[in-house]
Structure 1
Amino acid sequence: MLTALIAIPCPMDHPFTYLWPFAADVKPGTRVKVPFGNSTRIGLVVSVKEEDLTEEQVADLKLRSALEVLDEDAIWDEDSWKTWTWMANYYCYPIGDALGRLLPPTLRKGEAIPRDNLENLRDFSGAVTYTPGDTSNVVTPSQKKLIELVRSAESGMTRPEMEAAGASGRVIDTLIRTGALLASRQTETALALTEEQQAVFDGIGAQLDRFGAHLIDGVTGSGKTEVYIRLIEKILETDRQVLYLVPEINLTPQTCARLEARFGDDVAVMHSALKESDRLNAWARARNGTSRIVMGTRSALFTPMPRLGMIIIDEEHDSSYKQDSYLHYHARDVAMYLGRQRNVPVVLGSATPCAETLRNVMAGRITRHRMLHRATGTSMPKLRVIDAKSMPHPDGITRMAMTAIKETLERGEQAMVYLPRRGFAHVLFCNECGWASDCPHCSARMTLHRAKGKLICHHCEHTRKAPQVCPNCSAAVVGLGAGTERAEALLVEAFGEDRVVRFDTDSLSTPKLLQAALARVRSNDPLVIIGTQMISKGHDFPNVTLTVVTGTDSALFSAEHRAPERVIQQITQVAGRSGRAKEGRVLVQTSQPFHPVLVQLLAEGYHPTLEGMVQRYEEMCLPPVLHSACITVEDRDGRTLERTLQSVVDEIDHDELLGPFPAPMERKAGFSRFQVIIVTNNRATRHKLALQMRHALKLRAPKLHAVIDIDPQG
């Protein structure tokens, strides 16, 4: 009698056994419909085997039959499937939930896998130019108006330009579909490689037929992307596929434009901001092998690619590669395991490699390739500290920085201001009675968003109208601290609205808005770019010659031991946006100019500073030297939660199980939160303790919500 183990999306740690009335050669990773409780679910086959079961045993075990096999073949190849099951186990996550989350939403519901549809190809980069074609079917006034607008443009218009002029996406799509607008992509010829680029290309290019972990450790502007492209060309010559990961959605237009200019329709894009139909079409094209390059954020890692030949992880240090909800996987680490399983090279790239990667380089597990000079021949920008202690700057930017920005604009160049806080003010405060805009649901303050007239909690999204006077004593309230909205207001007042563009998730909430903002910057007109971490990585803005870094002081005094590491990464990355085509400079605005981390960074640079931090991690036996896990448990009753956790920790009674402690944010969205920390020099011990905690909590308090974070980043 055949039985099958089926992974079903649910919070159970194990797959479920079903009778298998189908052929025995169904491969793991095939979708199947099964009865589950009083409903049916879509699961994934883990294994099929012959068992010697009697009818009585079947009845005793209450085994039910699988209902339907949905796929002709497994979703993924065998080695990828092994990687996903390893991932669920390593990150201590229920296997059914873990594997189910890897599928596109429509496939989770049991719908058929679509065939790739070349007619649905989209302009993901926003760099495609459109010119008038066959206009015989143009009938509506809005269509005619757009055709005339495009015709008036000497060399055509891009989609962001048409949308900025007021054209709706529906009208544009209709004209493209009917042939009234014809698309043409800019092509890019291969650039001559510098000596450093050539050496890196030769070094990695000689090892593309097998697994190997490589780090391209190159300064900002050293031309890492061109090396990636040359390596991709070499992989495509053997008709294999490439997975290219970037940390954030806002980096996809620029990277996609480069790839499309060299490889055309071979490129498919995968990220959460795309329409589901576009994502599903890209997924199907990759699975069928039609698209040989898949570029996207961390979730693109799970795209089925039957002829995978190389994995590229750009900005490998970036914390965005770590999923911060549900399955807390790290895309870089899972990609390394996938590369080993599929015997393909994994290429990491960064100007600021993280401590884990540096330690792997030192241990010989990763081969480092250095690029110490910029590809354009320009020198790295000079860093200078602005001591802001004695300079009033309620709007986030000192007078000295404003003067430097003014001089930059007068030269026809662009300036960039990095401020890692959204909103207008961090908090509203009453000087009379001490009232502050605390969130009623979180251990946090609500941020003032003046343009919306609202206070918003950035942790639970609770929103309320911003008061004009103190709710307690009716005195005046003031906004303390500056976010990007407040700094933008200062810059607009000083230089005019047409000279300022803001990059944060409030102002650029859709791909359309992002592409329009990038188009403004790439026009090379004099501009001030004010933004959060959206501007700190990956972008190539050749006319930016001044960067102002502010708002990083608080992280220097964080209780989290790796916060200073992220500070030096942020400063180095933001500084790298300046001076790519002509000489640039960087102003670090701080009230702590003599902090040892900043002093060493400015005097010696990023790598010696990071190496000193790694040495301290080793001396103090701190992660990532030791292996850690953080178990966060939440409930509305904080006292009962703490007692329950304490009893579980006491029951397990292990020296490497620490806590419980209140979480850094003790209350969030109305729930009290406590944490138990595991720190050990043995991964197996960490795994055992994490599972013991989860099982004990399920027995004692099954309704408690517990999240296990393996290798926490903060």
Structure 2
Amino acid sequence: MPDFLRPTPRVLRVAIPSPLRRLFDYRPAGPAPSDGWHPGLRVRVPFGRRQVVGVIIECRDESELPLADLKPIDACLDDAPLPEDWLWLCRFTARYYQHAIGDTLHHAMPALLRQGRALAARTREHWNVTEAGHADAPAGLERAPRQAALLAMLRQHPHGLVTQAVLAQSFTREQLKALVNKGLIERHEQPVTGGGPPKGPALAEPALPLNGEQAAAMGALHEGLDAFHPCLLHGVTGSGKTEVYLQLIEAVVGRQRQALVLVPEIGLTPQTLERFRKRFQVPVVALHSGLTDHERLDAWEAAANGRAPIVIGTRSAIFTPLARPGAIIVDEEHDGSFKQQEGLRYHARDLAIIRAHRHGIPVVLGSATPSLESLHRARAGDYRHLRLTRRASRHAPARLELVDLRGRPRQGGLIAPVIDAIKTTLNAGHQILVFINRRGFAPTLACHACGWLAECNHCDAHMTLHRQPPLLACHHCDHRRGLPDACPDCGSADLRPLGSGTERTEETLAERFPDIPVHRIDRDSTRRRDALERTLGEVRRGEPCLLVGTQMLAKGHHLPHVNLVVVVNADAGLYASDFRALEHSAQLLEQVAGRAGRSSHPGRVLVQTLHPDDPNLRLLAARGYDALAEQLLEERRAASLPPFRFLALLRLESPRDSDVNELGERVAEATREHIEQRGLNVDCLGPVPAPMERRQNRYHMQVMLGADKRSHLHEAGAWLIAWLEAEPTARRVRWSLDIDPQTLA
């Protein structure tokens, strides 16, 4: 039936931005959209005492309530529905992660769309020379030298110029209008983002030659350009994974389709954008939290309408609609940043796979240290396993050299042999990266007389000592206080920093090497916009220097002049209570080690440890991450842990420990009864306190569900949520269900 003959629905089921896992019924009102009422249209509706922007999910003729009792919508905000692929992905995400559909839609759209702004491109004036303007001697300019100069300038720009660029050259709007009236130039409105792709070839510079392994990987990727084709691109650091991405995107863009590239951190986005924009002439847009609301909406709209062939973004960019999807690439797929840890707890890598399957397009997961989940899927044949074992520099990746810390005095966390190695490397004209995954001056402040430690009043954690500015700060709740003059327990003035952080190591190195620049890169030193890129720009000039940084430096940065990497303390994450701790620590060590020797000189990696005889650490040092990952997979299989089992984690928190304890006991007991009654193959473990039981003056409790089948886990999870929503005592407790949790913290 044609749309204009289709009857108007009597009920619109609308998703409202709220934690309630349901839709709300409204009556259509006012003028209908030109194509009629459809799912995906945004509407402004009354909700309680306020007006909110919701999204129509269903159009029906009946409601559970009398039609007369339904409130009418206030306004329809769109002429056409939001993109269908975006709406499908949001509905899948809400269903899989057991989250409210309204809150999911709210998270997945740009802030201005949530506020009711139209989904339309911002435009700017653009001026082009006409065919008459390109004539050898255009008439009418004999006595207008400024107009002639303006025309000559515009002729030098075959793709035209925007008004701001023209006015910046001291020309005026009157001169532009005069040339328009003479038919020599013409005015266009061009989108701010993704407007006016060049008419020439897509490449701005030629692709690099591929080695044999890269060529084999590209051949495999070309075979699957027209179908769902999941590939794990498993390449050592510096092996040229990015070049494979670039040449795959070249093929995708050449077929008039779009590529979505996900990177784990906002710090990697400028580096990736620079390389992609240098290679391609087509528009490349970015989506990340560092953009303004207008910039984010512009990029989102350009992707949705197909004007942006290449989209690069962080985790939330997985929700970017694409008019002509052609491929999805997830760089550093193992990185924990792809998992949202608050609110809607989705995993962007997993949604990328689901989305690629929906569109029937290839998805590439790239990493030097793949997650055990991806390695398991590759071993099982679900993913094609593409290996890159050779570095572009032709040097083998540097092996870890374990340095025994036991019984040795330290300066800024470093022992004498390591400081000597740093000195030798600097004398050779190279750069050094000192990795310490603790920001601040020291992990805490201690009394040398009685053993008092500076502890947070709001968390079960020590406060970190900072020198810039001098204070104590909790890195869990951000509580801060001044430095005490004396020990609050015994009154002694002998207060000493305990351990080393980035500030202390930076201070020590600056004292030992006063003529060498020391660059500290952590969350504190890079708060200002572009601070990280400016620092890395100085480093890439190649002059000898020392970099002191946290894991911000370990993720994908190309530092060609670094020849020595020093890990100050390898033990910090190896022995945590989380069963993924060893996997994540090994990945971090291998990633930071991969920053060494990426250019013409072989690299060296010194790893300081108090446990040089640890068998896992020795295996990692001797045979690398792949060997350790194989061993960890076998241990996970024996212990029935992911990826051989599926988990869901119920988190409970409240200012009163009695409330979380009571609800934890009740929910665990009720869940076990339900599992037994339904005959589900699901284990219910807990309740147990979280690894940090008290944080921000709130007590945290956990209940774990485990199952061999996703369907059983999701059935138990859906029942558990319904039970909590109906349980009166649950209203005193904040709770959330995390499907496929990546950490127990």
TM beyond 0.5:
yes
Amino acid at match of 2:587: Q
CA contact (8 A) 1:323 1:329 kept: yes
Partner of 1:37: 48
Report the 3-state secondary structure (helix = DSSP H, G, I; strand = E; otherwise coil) of the residue aligned with 1:555.
coil
CA distance in 2, matches of 1:688, 1:538: 39
1:48 matches 2:48: no
CA contact (8 A) 1:423 1:449 kept: yes
Matches within 5 A, 1:488-527: 488-496=506-514, 499-527=517-545
Report the 3-state secondary structure (helix = DSSP H, G, I; strand = E; otherwise coil) of the residue aligned with 1:101.
helix
Partner of 2:38: 27
Deviates more, 1:252-261 or 1:648-657: 648-657
Report the 3-state secondary structure (helix = DSSP H, G, I; strand = E; otherwise coil) of the residue aligned with 1:587.
strand
Question: How much has 1:644 moved relative to structure 2?
Answer: 2.2
Report the 3-state secondary structure (helix = DSSP H, G, I; strand = E; otherwise coil) of the residue aligned with 2:273.
helix
CA contact (8 A) 1:642 1:674 kept: yes
1:693 matches 2:720: yes
The equivalent position to 1:614 in structure 2, one of 627, 633, 636, is 633
1:553 matches 2:571: yes
Amino acid at match of 2:611: Q
Partner of 1:101: 107
CA 393–27 in structure 1, closer or farther in 2 if over 3 Å, else same: farther
Partner of 1:249: 266
Question: How much has 1:44 moved relative to structure 2?
Answer: 0.9
CA distance in 2, matches of 1:291, 1:495: 48
Matches within 5 A, 1:544-583: 544-581=562-599, 582-583=601-602
CA contact (8 A) 1:11 1:97 kept: yes
CA distance in 2, matches of 1:509, 1:255: 20
CA distance in 1, matches of 2:411, 2:436: 13
Amino acid at match of 2:700: R
CA distance in 2, matches of 1:4, 1:321: 34
Report the 3-state secondary structure (helix = DSSP H, G, I; strand = E; otherwise coil) of the residue aligned with 2:591.
helix
Question: How much has 1:2 moved relative to structure 2?
Answer: 2.2
Question: How much has 1:376 moved relative to structure 2?
Answer: 2.7
Amino acid at match of 1:648: V
CA distance in 2, matches of 1:119, 1:28: 35
Partner of 2:427: 410
Deviates more, 1:497-506 or 1:303-312: 497-506
Report the 3-state secondary structure (helix = DSSP H, G, I; strand = E; otherwise coil) of the residue aligned with 2:530.
helix
CA 583–180 in structure 1, closer or farther in 2 if over 3 Å, else same: farther
CA distance in 2, matches of 1:176, 1:519: 27
Report the 3-state secondary structure (helix = DSSP H, G, I; strand = E; otherwise coil) of the residue aligned with 1:284.
helix
CA contact (8 A) 2:90 2:101 kept: no
CA distance in 2, matches of 1:522, 1:178: 35
1:58 matches 2:67: yes
Q: How many residues align?
A: 654
Deviates more, 1:433-442 or 1:246-255: 433-442
CA 705–615 in structure 1, closer or farther in 2 if over 3 Å, else same: same
Partner of 1:110: 116
The equivalent position to 2:96 in structure 1, one of 61, 73, 90, is 90
Amino acid at match of 2:704: I
CA distance in 2, matches of 1:584, 1:94: 50
CA distance in 1, matches of 2:478, 2:281: 40
Give a deviation string over 1:461-509, Cα, whole Å, max 9, x none. 1111122321233312111111111111111111237521111111011
Amino acid at match of 2:592: V
1:179 matches 2:168: yes
The equivalent position to 1:259 in structure 2, one of 276, 279, 283, is 276
Amino acid at match of 2:710: R
CA 498–188 in structure 1, closer or farther in 2 if over 3 Å, else same: farther
CA contact (8 A) 2:432 2:547 kept: yes
Question: How much has 1:383 moved relative to structure 2?
Answer: 2.6
Question: How much has 1:647 moved relative to structure 2?
Answer: 1.8
Partner of 2:157: none
CA 279–119 in structure 1, closer or farther in 2 if over 3 Å, else same: farther
Amino acid at match of 1:57: P
1:372 matches 2:389: yes
Partner of 2:183: none
Question: How much has 1:276 moved relative to structure 2?
Answer: 2.3
Question: How much has 1:381 moved relative to structure 2?
Answer: 1.7
Partner of 2:240: 223
CA distance in 1, matches of 2:422, 2:166: 45
Amino acid at match of 1:361: A
CA 587–411 in structure 1, closer or farther in 2 if over 3 Å, else same: same
Partner of 2:328: 311
Report the 3-state secondary structure (helix = DSSP H, G, I; strand = E; otherwise coil) of the residue aligned with 1:455.
strand
CA distance in 2, matches of 1:320, 1:49: 40
CA distance in 1, matches of 2:164, 2:564: 41
The equivalent position to 1:396 in structure 2, one of 413, 424, 444, is 413
Question: How much has 1:268 moved relative to structure 2?
Answer: 0.5
Question: How much has 1:178 moved relative to structure 2?
Answer: 5.0
CA distance in 2, matches of 1:117, 1:409: 52
TM-score, normalisation: structure 1: 0.88
Report the 3-state secondary structure (helix = DSSP H, G, I; strand = E; otherwise coil) of the residue aligned with 1:707.
strand
The equivalent position to 2:684 in structure 1, one of 657, 661, 665, is 657
CA distance in 2, matches of 1:394, 1:691: 54
Question: How much has 1:567 moved relative to structure 2?
Answer: 1.5
Deviates more, 1:566-575 or 1:643-652: 643-652
Partner of 1:596: 615
Question: How much has 1:406 moved relative to structure 2?
Answer: 1.2
Partner of 1:675: 702
The equivalent position to 2:17 in structure 1, one of 9, 22, 32, is 9
CA 177–571 in structure 1, closer or farther in 2 if over 3 Å, else same: farther
Question: How much has 1:249 moved relative to structure 2?
Answer: 0.8
Give a deviation string over 1:158-182, Cα, whole Å, max 9, x none. xxxxxxxxxxxxxxxx99795369x
Partner of 2:82: 75
Give a deviation string over 1:293-352, Cα, whole Å, max 9, x none. 110101111112111111000000001100111111000001110111111111110010
Question: How much has 1:188 moved relative to structure 2?
Answer: 4.1
CA contact (8 A) 2:25 2:63 kept: no
CA contact (8 A) 2:399 2:624 kept: no
The equivalent position to 1:384 in structure 2, one of 391, 394, 401, is 401
CA 558–176 in structure 1, closer or farther in 2 if over 3 Å, else same: farther
CA contact (8 A) 1:92 1:690 kept: yes
1:666 matches 2:684: no
Partner of 2:218: 201
Question: How much has 1:95 moved relative to structure 2?
Answer: 1.1
Partner of 1:483: 501
Report the 3-state secondary structure (helix = DSSP H, G, I; strand = E; otherwise coil) of the residue aligned with 1:444.
coil
CA distance in 1, matches of 2:411, 2:97: 44
Report the 3-state secondary structure (helix = DSSP H, G, I; strand = E; otherwise coil) of the residue aligned with 1:656.
strand
CA contact (8 A) 2:516 2:546 kept: no
Question: How much has 1:85 moved relative to structure 2?
Answer: 0.7
Report the 3-state secondary structure (helix = DSSP H, G, I; strand = E; otherwise coil) of the residue aligned with 1:259.
helix
CA distance in 2, matches of 1:277, 1:177: 24
1:710 matches 2:739: yes
Unaligned segments of structure 1, at least 5 residues: 121-135, 137-173
Report the 3-state secondary structure (helix = DSSP H, G, I; strand = E; otherwise coil) of the residue aligned with 1:43.
strand
Question: How much has 1:415 moved relative to structure 2?
Answer: 0.8
Give a deviation string over 1:627-649, Cα, whole Å, max 9, x none. 11111111111013201221222
CA 177–535 in structure 1, closer or farther in 2 if over 3 Å, else same: farther
CA 631–432 in structure 1, closer or farther in 2 if over 3 Å, else same: same
Partner of 1:639: 658
Amino acid at match of 1:115: A
Task: Give the structure with higher Rg (CA).
Answer: 2
Amino acid at match of 1:74: P
CA contact (8 A) 2:264 2:338 kept: yes
CA contact (8 A) 1:214 1:367 kept: yes
Q: CA RMSD in A?
A: 2.2
Percent identity between matched residues is 40
Give a deviation string over 1:369-404, Cα, whole Å, max 9, x none. 111101232222233111111222252222211111
Report the 3-state secondary structure (helix = DSSP H, G, I; strand = E; otherwise coil) of the residue aligned with 1:470.
coil
Question: How much has 1:571 moved relative to structure 2?
Answer: 1.2
CA contact (8 A) 2:577 2:691 kept: no
Report the 3-state secondary structure (helix = DSSP H, G, I; strand = E; otherwise coil) of the residue aligned with 1:554.
coil
